[in-house]
Amino acid sequence: MRHFDLSPLYRSTVGFDRLFSMFDQAGANEPAATYPPYNIERTGDTTYRITVAVAGFSEADLTIETKENTLSIRGAREAAQKTEETPSEVLYQGIAARAFERRFQLADHVQVSGASLRNGLLHVDLVREIPEAAKPRQIPIGGAKVVEARKAA
């Protein structure tokens, strides 16, 4: 029971139809993707890290792309071809080597600051840089100066 019928809520709300449509689309079209597994962690006040387990993939097999507020990580590996030097037959294959694509919605002002691949883990570092114009500012409360008008003599 993973599908919720939100149609009764459409009748009593105004302006939230886009929000409900997003909920409807979230799980209806695709099953929950579990490959490859990933972690999202906060590494500082304004820094984050996404770690994706990409065992068996090299840097050349991975593509990281940002467009608007979406981070896409793709992996596609060419099938290993048998060579005459190392003839082998796989008896059991438990290491997944299938192509994948993971998408992450980024909040406003979050930018990718770098990526690295170590020990089968892809680390994508993110930083939230809020522009000065969007930062909250404090308005001082001060006494208003009263300018007295003098009568012309």
CB atoms within 10 A of CB 52: 24
Over the range 128-140, which residues count as b (16 or more CB within 10 Å of their CB) and which as e? eeeeeeeeeeeee
Percentages of the chain per state (helix, strand, coil), in multiples of 5: 15, 30, 55
pLDDT tens, residue order, the chain (153 aa): 555 665 555 554 444 555 555 555 554 545 557 888 999 999 988 899 999 999 889 999 999 999 988 899 999 987 655 455 667 788 888 877 789 999 998 888 889 999 999 999 999 999 988 888 877 888 888 865 656 666 665
Tokens of 39: 């972690």
Query: What CATH code is assigned to 35-79+92-131?
Result: 2.60.40.790
Q: Where are the domains of the chain?
A: 1-32, 35-79+92-131
